[in-house]
Amino acid sequence: MSSLTGGARPHTLNAAGIPLSGFLALPEGREVRSTILAVHGRGMRAAYWSALVPLATALGHAVLALDRPGYGDSAELLPEGQSLAGQAETLHAALKEHAAGHAIGAGVFLLGHSDGGKVALHTAATDGAVPLLGLDASGVGHHYNPEALHFPSTLGGGASKLNWGPLNLYPRGTFQASRALLAPTPPRESAETVRWPGQYEDLAPRVRVPVRLTFAEHEAWWQLDDPAPASMAALLTAAPHVSVEHLPAAGHNISLGHAATAYHLRVLAFLEDCLRL
């Protein structure tokens, strides 16, 4: 699972002096229609997005998946990590560097999971040098399930149900293989967890691209009873289009489960919509 497939190759960007490792996958034999910046969640690495690569590149999209600041090659330089807003600034710098040497097509489509979805929302709410097409986020809500705030985002520590949901939602061998994706969560990121609801209320009105929010059927980190998802969407007042979807037979780590293909196809369908807007 941690190996790179579908034409992906290791890739490192200099983001204003911060080395961001990850991978880059380009469509073979055709121009890049758009570039997907894929942003992993808490305690994971860029290879979380490996299963997306063959579907996206077959449709002409490049996939740029980066280890967020404080993970991968930047962990030594940033042992405390960066704030979510700081990570967004670093990602904007990385996109500028990437666009200087690679075709990005019509622009960059943000794809974020969990804490990576928070960073993607911060990125969409701030200006950068590269045009943004839209944002698709999974596993990130507005208000936490009260039980979730007591657990770390790890395979152990009592958080397995929150992170995964029912084990039969994942292919055999997923949990052993996914250990290669794990990385320590930087302290600054962990410290911001309780502040997210207020942060979201501040940044949501500044997101000016189409947004799709996806919640797994067995998502346990967030309050999802009505009207919570609709209330979250309603705060995105400047976004030209907002949709909320619920994915059946999926747990929090959607892109590692049996539902990954269905989710990724829906992501790419939304990207097509964004390209037409």
Residue 275 backbone phi and psi in degrees, to 5 = -70, -25
Q: Is the pTM of this model over 0.85?
A: yes
Give pLDDT, residue 6. 56
* For residue 267, pLDDT beyond 90: yes
- What's the average model confidence in pLDDT over 204-224? 96
* For residue 26, pLDDT beyond 90: yes
- What's the average model confidence in pLDDT over 159-178? 87
Reported confidence tier of residue 1, pLDDT bands at 50, 70, 90: very low
- Is 257:225 a contact under the CB 8 Å cutoff? no
Close Cβ partners of 110 (under 8 Å, ≥ 6 residues apart): 37, 39, 120, 123, 124, 132, 134, 135, 136, 137, 209
The encoded tokens of residue 183 equal 């990385």
Give pLDDT, residue 179. 85
Give pLDDT, residue 235. 98
What is the set of domains in the chain, with CATH numbers?
Answer: 8-276 (3.40.50.1820)
- What's the average model confidence in pLDDT over 188-192? 91
Give pLDDT, residue 57. 97
Residue 136 backbone phi and psi in degrees, to 5 = -120, 120
> Please, what is the average pLDDT of the chain?
93
* For residue 176, pLDDT beyond 90: no
Reported confidence tier of residue 152, pLDDT bands at 50, 70, 90: low
Give pLDDT, residue 158. 55
- In this structure, the number of other CB atoms found within 10 A of the CB of residue 81 comes to 23
Q: Looking at 124-133, 143-152, 161-170, which range is the least confident one?
A: 143-152
Cis-peptide, bond into residue 227, ω within 30° of zero: yes
Give pLDDT, residue 4. 56
Q: Looking at 88-97, 101-110, 160-169, which range is the least confident one?
A: 160-169
Percent over 70 (pLDDT), the chain:
94
Reported confidence tier of residue 149, pLDDT bands at 50, 70, 90: low
